[in-house]
Chain A
């Protein structure tokens, strides 16, 4: 929504520092802008604040209770403490409870999960008994891309809120009550049988590793090299990170929300349809059709020479405009430039058009 021109500007104090802010902002917005870290778990900037996980609670002078920084709107002259003894104590107890529910030891990071890293920041946790939470999984999940392990889930609901608020297909939801509450589909059908479009946004936003991608698990994925690039499917131009291990793309991840035009989102093609890169049917050798009518492998030098010679022959016999050059909207800008320059400067014709002539 457009900011009202009547927006009020005023100061607040965060950890003893005066900060300017605007009405309508949350404490978390102001802290982020200032570079002050406040831990969050159920927060995702693409979603409406839920204030549910309690990990962003801060102490505000004059307020009896701790307040969630993700949802609490600033007012003039608030005096806020995000690292007070009371806040730290709260955080340690909260993380101890979450880890007792999460169930996995602190040493195990599930895909570098946010929860475990946050828990480590709290120092030694309280020794609590594991939480008995009989959350149901979906039986025989047959989708090819992700798995759901309910024992790791702490019900922050980022996945279900993403599915509702961003992708807007409502394929998954919180169901059951109390300790049995779980992430479910309608009637616990498999995802393939729901309105799910396999965008993978739920997996991407999951902070616990309860939702995981299936494909990369096949490969050793310790510290993949991330290469930022532009998706090669439709014309939106989503930015994505190719995760590379041993010269292989093992996974595609989306950049942080708010940093690129796709706001951390990708679709099923962008996020998952990358197997073609290393597919066995890729063309790997130049080929020339021989006098026997068959295609034969050739060296690059031979193939280039034959290609140039063949086109020049046609030009000599029938003129430059008997040639046609079809360029590609799938290739880069530079390559399209090269193709039209080849047609125009090397062969003397303007018969050059890209494949998507629309």
Chain B
């Protein structure tokens, strides 16, 4: 929508912000070091707006905290836009010079009054008005979001809704402002950059673009498919349907981390041939025909690209255990064994150089430059370019940014009599994803040894559940046993679980209904009920 899928601004700018709008991001737990910058900004006088269905650390120090119902983001964002437009808080010069299609948004948000939003989202109308006014009141006002925005069937609409706010206030192309997705994993950005995408070659060049395809065909000496590929969510569905018959899975435990785990296990049972390349045993390995042991980050060279588009070095410190090898070496061998003339690279710097030469966005970046100068932020089109601290300085990268009118659609699965509670899932400070790494360590295990479900005290009382009780969480797709944490951090009617624990596989519950554009699963909203269990500590199976 703005021309680049990345943080518009940079992490070190956060401390100078005047307004921070944090939505769908439990920053202190998922991105602790970015949260430190936010805390520093607040200490320096910045105003903080937080929107999250769960009360989080940051909501405690927020000027305005909006505890919306899960899945009602679009209504909230449209209501904020409604206030900005109705109260004349928009930046009309910016809208005129740098955007198109504003009228469509004006039309679309007309009926999203703060009062109607209060009914749908549960956030008081006056609070919505105050938040809109505060966000518009300063130039250095940045929006920060993560998977609480994207892991919905309307995830793309959520992002559009945020981008509309940025564009109508002109909070773009300025330091400490912009629209900033905080990436959940070390190299999400770098994997996208490198073209691990069904729609894009490296450097965000479209598969469907004939000129691009010819460029890569010539560089790689192979004829390439002109058809877009299918995204991960569709791959999982196709596998369950029996249409995807061979898989090569590198560095992900799809059983534990993809939504609707039972369906994935059915698919893996049908899959004719599965290669798994990983550093640890995991749940997916049980279905593998070939297992390839890989080196971890401390055992190889390369680069990670972080959330603010910064390409930084990963350096080999120790040898991999046993016969484990770096993924890049293994992938080259498999390609050659399959009859493709993959070059014999001797170091990742040669691979990076090949990618950079084919990708105008980072043509100017090389291992050699990073060694000499430290991390470099793309766009960096040539070897003399210093890299880009914040995007859209001369107006939006794509020329005129398009406003996108959006309308509220309820989440794919709503509470019912049988499944009366809304489950959201997420990550905690002490663990990381499927926890194969963090469970090796004493601290995380001392703080959080097992899975839990956060239940509002009112819901707990209604069900006669006490803190520490074992309970079975049931959705239409599966059942998971875990311990009750009674809290007032979640909204009544809502429960929350982490997804770190193999013996309580939360993703047996979650809904694989995907966003229509990205295919990202709806991890943040599905309907569940809680069942008491008779089992005691002693009889509990692990």
Distance between Cα atoms of A331 and B193 in the complex (Å): 13
B residues 301-322 in Cβ contact with A at 8 Å = 301-308, 310-319, 321-322
A90 at the interface (CB under 8 A from B): no
> Which of A275, A338, A352 has a CB less than 8 Å from the CB of B441?
A275
Distance between Cα atoms of A139 and B239 in the complex (Å): 56
The answer to whether A235 touches B307, judged by C-beta atoms less than 8 angstroms apart, is yes
Complex interface: chain B residues within 8 A of A350 (CB): 198-199, 207, 225, 227-229
A108 at the interface (CB under 8 A from B): no
Q: Mark A261-274, 1 if CB is under 8 A from B, else 0.
A: 11101111110111
**Closest CB in chain B relative to A228 CB, distance in Å:** 6
Distance between Cα atoms of A199 and B447 in the complex (Å): 13
The answer to whether A338 touches B327, judged by C-beta atoms less than 8 angstroms apart, is yes
Complex interface: chain A residues within 8 A of B331 (CB): 335, 338-339, 342
Segment at the interface with A among B48-56, B291-299, B391-399, B409-417: B291-299
Q: Mark B156-191, 1 if CB is under 8 A from A, else 0.
A: 000000000000000000000000001111111111
A10 at the interface (CB under 8 A from B): no
| Least CB separation from B288: chain A residue | A289
The answer to whether B231 touches A310, judged by C-beta atoms less than 8 angstroms apart, is no
**Known contacts A285-B322, A358-B520; is A237 also within 8 Å of B304 by CB?**
yes
Segment at the interface with B among A18-26, A37-45, A241-249: A241-249
Complex interface: chain A residues within 8 A of B198 (CB): 350-353
A75 at the interface (CB under 8 A from B): no
The answer to whether A237 touches B225, judged by C-beta atoms less than 8 angstroms apart, is no
The answer to whether A340 touches B220, judged by C-beta atoms less than 8 angstroms apart, is no
**Known contacts A300-B323, A353-B196; is A165 also within 8 Å of B30 by CB?**
no
Q: Mark A310-341, 1 if CB is under 8 A from B, else 0.
A: 11111101101111111111111111111111
A140 at the interface (CB under 8 A from B): no
The answer to whether A288 touches B290, judged by C-beta atoms less than 8 angstroms apart, is yes
Segment at the interface with A among B62-70, B118-126, B336-344: B336-344
**Known contacts A227-B315, A329-B187; is A337 also within 8 Å of B290 by CB?**
no
B residues 239-280 in Cβ contact with A at 8 Å = 239, 243-252, 254, 257, 272-273, 275, 278-280
> Which of B10, B34, B228, B305 has a CB less than 8 Å from the CB of A333?
B305
The answer to whether A272 touches B441, judged by C-beta atoms less than 8 angstroms apart, is yes
Distance between Cα atoms of A167 and B318 in the complex (Å): 31
Complex interface: chain A residues within 8 A of B289 (CB): 288-289, 306, 310
The answer to whether B250 touches A351, judged by C-beta atoms less than 8 angstroms apart, is no
The answer to whether A237 touches B306, judged by C-beta atoms less than 8 angstroms apart, is yes
Distance between Cα atoms of A349 and B248 in the complex (Å): 12
A-B contact count (CB 8 A): 488
Segment at the interface with B among A77-85, A95-103, A122-130, A276-284: A276-284
**Closest CB in chain B relative to A27 CB, distance in Å:** 23
Q: Mark B347-363, 1 if CB is under 8 A from A, else 0.
A: 01001101100000000
| Least CB separation from B432: chain A residue | A233
The answer to whether A358 touches B306, judged by C-beta atoms less than 8 angstroms apart, is no
The answer to whether B440 touches A273, judged by C-beta atoms less than 8 angstroms apart, is yes
**Closest CB in chain B relative to A276 CB, distance in Å:** 4
> Which of B36, B195, B233 has a CB less than 8 Å from the CB of A166?
B36
Distance between Cα atoms of A291 and B367 in the complex (Å): 45
**Known contacts A282-B280, A283-B294; is A242 also within 8 Å of B197 by CB?**
no
The answer to whether B246 touches A310, judged by C-beta atoms less than 8 angstroms apart, is yes
B382 at the interface (CB under 8 A from A): no
The answer to whether B188 touches A329, judged by C-beta atoms less than 8 angstroms apart, is yes
> Which of A230, A284, A288, A313 has a CB less than 8 Å from the CB of B306?
A230
The answer to whether A326 touches B235, judged by C-beta atoms less than 8 angstroms apart, is yes
The answer to whether B279 touches A314, judged by C-beta atoms less than 8 angstroms apart, is no
B487 at the interface (CB under 8 A from A): no
Question: Interface extent on B, as a size class?
Answer: 35 or more
The answer to whether A289 touches B298, judged by C-beta atoms less than 8 angstroms apart, is no
What is the predominant secondary structure among interface residues of chain A facing chain B? mixed
**Closest CB in chain A relative to B513 CB, distance in Å:** 14
Complex interface: chain B residues within 8 A of A348 (CB): 222-225
| Least CB separation from A282: chain B residue | B321
The answer to whether A276 touches B342, judged by C-beta atoms less than 8 angstroms apart, is no
The answer to whether A166 touches B40, judged by C-beta atoms less than 8 angstroms apart, is yes
The answer to whether B443 touches A235, judged by C-beta atoms less than 8 angstroms apart, is no
> Which of B194, B201, B227, B296 has a CB less than 8 Å from the CB of A336?
B194
**Closest CB in chain B relative to A348 CB, distance in Å:** 6
A36 at the interface (CB under 8 A from B): no
A1 at the interface (CB under 8 A from B): yes
Complex interface: chain B residues within 8 A of A198 (CB): 443, 447
A145 at the interface (CB under 8 A from B): yes
Complex interface: chain B residues within 8 A of A142 (CB): 446
| Least CB separation from A196: chain B residue | B447
Q: Mark A209-238, 1 if CB is under 8 A from B, else 0.
A: 000000000000000010111111111111
Distance between Cα atoms of A339 and B296 in the complex (Å): 16
The answer to whether A235 touches B186, judged by C-beta atoms less than 8 angstroms apart, is yes
Complex interface: chain B residues within 8 A of A249 (CB): 298, 317-318
Distance between Cα atoms of A289 and B291 in the complex (Å): 9
Complex interface: chain A residues within 8 A of B34 (CB): 236
**Closest CB in chain B relative to A311 CB, distance in Å:** 5
Complex interface: chain B residues within 8 A of A289 (CB): 288-290
B230 at the interface (CB under 8 A from A): yes
| Least CB separation from B431: chain A residue | A269
**Closest CB in chain B relative to A64 CB, distance in Å:** 34
> Which of B238, B291, B303 has a CB less than 8 Å from the CB of A334?
B303
The answer to whether A346 touches B338, judged by C-beta atoms less than 8 angstroms apart, is yes
The answer to whether B293 touches A285, judged by C-beta atoms less than 8 angstroms apart, is yes
B31 at the interface (CB under 8 A from A): yes
Complex interface: chain B residues within 8 A of A248 (CB): 318
**Known contacts A326-B252, A332-B304, A340-B202; is A357 also within 8 Å of B519 by CB?**
yes
Complex interface: chain B residues within 8 A of A275 (CB): 440-442
Distance between Cα atoms of A337 and B196 in the complex (Å): 7
> Which of B43, B245, B254, B317 has a CB less than 8 Å from the CB of A314?
B245
A67 at the interface (CB under 8 A from B): no
> Which of B299, B340, B432 has a CB less than 8 Å from the CB of A269?
B432
The answer to whether B195 touches A337, judged by C-beta atoms less than 8 angstroms apart, is yes
The answer to whether A267 touches B151, judged by C-beta atoms less than 8 angstroms apart, is no
Distance between Cα atoms of A195 and B196 in the complex (Å): 40
The answer to whether A352 touches B229, judged by C-beta atoms less than 8 angstroms apart, is yes
**Known contacts A279-B440, A304-B333; is A331 also within 8 Å of B224 by CB?**
no
B468 at the interface (CB under 8 A from A): no
**Closest CB in chain A relative to B50 CB, distance in Å:** 15
> Which of A247, A312, A336 has a CB less than 8 Å from the CB of B187?
A336
> Which of B10, B43, B437 has a CB less than 8 Å from the CB of A276?
B437
Distance between Cα atoms of A311 and B274 in the complex (Å): 8
Complex interface: chain A residues within 8 A of B151 (CB): 358
A residues 160-190 in Cβ contact with B at 8 Å = 165-168
A344 at the interface (CB under 8 A from B): yes
Complex interface: chain B residues within 8 A of A274 (CB): 298, 441
The answer to whether B248 touches A325, judged by C-beta atoms less than 8 angstroms apart, is yes
Complex interface: chain B residues within 8 A of A311 (CB): 246, 248, 273, 275, 338
Q: 24 pairs across A/B with beta carbons < 8 Å?
A: A1-B44, A228-B313, A230-B304, A234-B32, A237-B375, A260-B374, A265-B33, A267-B32, A268-B444, A279-B280, A282-B280, A304-B330, A310-B273, A323-B246, A325-B247, A326-B247, A326-B250, A329-B184, A329-B191, A332-B302, A345-B335, A349-B225, A352-B229, A354-B192
7 extra A-B contacts, CB within 8 A, seeds A329-B191, A331-B327: A192-B447, A263-B12, A269-B438, A272-B441, A328-B251, A353-B235, A356-B184
Query: Which residues does A use to contact B, with CB under 8 Å?
Result: 1-2, 142-145, 165-168, 192, 197-199, 225, 227-239, 242, 244, 247-249, 260-263, 265-270, 272-279, 281-289, 295, 300, 303-315, 317-318, 320-358
The 10 closest A-B pairs by CB, nearest first: A284-B322, A237-B306, A332-B302, A235-B183, A328-B251, A350-B229, A314-B246, A144-B442, A308-B337, A346-B340
